[in-house]
Structure 1
Amino acid sequence: MPPEPATPLAKRLCERIAQDGPLTLAAYMEACLTDPESGYYATRQPLGARGDFITAPEISQIFGELIGIWTIATWQALGQPDEITIAELGPGRGTLMRDALRSWRNFPDFRRRVRIALVEKSETLKSVQAETLAPEIEQEPPAPVTWHDSLETVPEGPLIVIANEFLDALPIRQFIRRGSAWHERLVTCTETGALAFMEGDRPAEALPGLDRFESARDGAIAEIRPDAAPLISSLAKRAKAAPLASLFIDYGPEVFGPGDTLQAVSAHGFADPLADPGAADLTAHVDFGALSQQAAQEGLSAYGPMPQGEFLLKLGLAQRQEQLMKTATPDQRPMLASGANRLIDPQQMGVLFKAFVLTGSGGGGRGLPPPPPFYSSPQS
């Protein structure tokens, strides 16, 4: 008898592989992150000091407050519609939206026009988000909040989308260059019950995005993110009916090239992505160039990517930090300073993380002004 796989999810994956053959990396990531019984996001609260990683909203309240100010300026750029939906994709614990709501207290005319839509599949995180947002939702004027499993059920009309560290968790597929062909990198189960990478025997079919790596050397790994395409298409479809702006903040290089960027994070450290499926967060770098290319093909304007540090400083991070320092206690000041610095420091999150915006004018024939702080022409 061969040894049993290490976890219940690993066992189910091995059974699936035995029946259907090796898994694409995208199928493996999807199972690890969303499996209803053992998936990472379905079964735990990953964020915070007691979780596995900390995102920008958890590091400093200034992040969410500045995003809140960005939404007001963007609403103005969209023509100040009477009603505006602010949708957040993957809202985590609700910290970003809570801080954005707090920043809107001083703008009651904007706040009374806002409807908040949180796109979240995890029932565990939905409960946490409701608890986090409760004190701010009750402020006057009230800001109604609804939860959605996908963007498709978010109400029609003018829309601003916020997505912080959302794209990096969308599953990827990997391909290895062999001569003039690409062979897909797959996940299989060994005789010992362990999950392992393998290379597909046959050349892969031509897939959208692989043509971006035609100059790659033999043995290079190319990554594509299939689930990003329908998201961009969904945004483009909505932008034909009503004004739209989407802000993505995520990590990846300015120019995306070949390489293996898959990583697993557990307990604030890196882990083997195949060792304990469902117990670690799985992410990969974002190809902003591929997003821009598709956005342009579908009629959207793309701005960025802009380094996160530059983005936040242009939105007023230094000024907001100075304001908070004036009322902070001596014990709070070091934390305020270190948190703000972590967001903008080139050696931490200031350069690797990028801000990227897509806009659409709603089909009215009038182009929108550049979104703040991208006061220049969009990418062609």
Structure 2
Amino acid sequence: MTTLITKIKALMTPRLTVLITVWLLVVFGMMAYYKARFVISGEFPWTTMFAMFSLDAVFGYIVATILVFGGEAVGRMVDRLTKNSFSVVSAATIRYFTCATFGVLAVSAAAYGWFTLLFGFDTSPEFLVDMAVLSVGMPLVINGLMETFHYHGAWQAERFEKESAAREALRAEFEALRNQVSPHFLFNSFATLSHIIEEDPKRAAEFLENLSGVFRFVLQNREADTVPLSEELAAVEALLKVHQMRVPDGLVVETAIPAEALAHPIPIMALYTLVENALKHNVVSAERPLSISINFGPDNVLVVENNLQPKRTRHSLGTGLENLDRRLQHLLKAKLDIQKTDSKFIVRAPLMAVS
């Protein structure tokens, strides 16, 4: 049974689905219209409303098959004959009039053969006019539905392709950023380590442990798009400890994240980027300590704030923040909220909901 259903699904192309849908609409539409009409006029008893194999019902099946599947076959034949010979508009016009003419002639012939030749009934002019109108209108309905499905499908495919391309470009850009996680920071860290390793081995071991914690987090989550806030916060705290050991009294850190917020997923390297941005663009020294606060604001927003004391060098254009902003737009349809005053730099990043 499952195999049969699978085969049927494979056969049900969008085009065939449209044709079957229109066929059913024509069949039941004709039956409802004429049965109701005859019952109301008193020509037939009301019990005939449910007769699925009466003369008029069977004729409805015949007409629907002629107009839908016969018209589709004629239309495809016209498409083959007009391909590369006419403009799109001309080919569509030829297809329509050919299908309409076929429908009128074929349905008229079917009505005459079914009612007159087989059963000896006369077909009224009014009935023939109804069939002619149906025959002329059916190609418009079918072609309209086909074009709607075609363009909707093409639009969906194009949108998916664009989103995939944008996602891949964003991922490639982020990979480039992640692969070069602050080589300047790494160089300075090793310089600091070599300086303190002989003076204070215990402090050097602590320094190395924090440094390895930062890079372990980066390496272990290379393929991840999101991580729990708790994991990234641990890596960021290790990063900040490294900087505090490099520049004693040069960094003041305040973290206020409630326990219930730690389970929130966060785009990978989001908090890291915000903190690194503060460290990268500001003076950090014992004479001019840099203050960084990490807080959890209302509406699931992560807030990173630092006092503003910019470096004089101009070696970066804020690529990390720009990439994070685009990743947030892609994942959450939300943007970074960046506020800069004379004394402070504040960034608010929305968090993902806990699933």
User: TM-score if structure 2 supplies the norm length?
Assistant: 0.20
TM-score by length of 1: 0.19
Which structure has the highest strand share of the two?
1
Choose 1 or 2 for highest CA Rg.
2
Query: Could you say which structure has the higher helix fraction?
Result: 2
Higher relative contact order (CA 8 A, sep 6+): 1
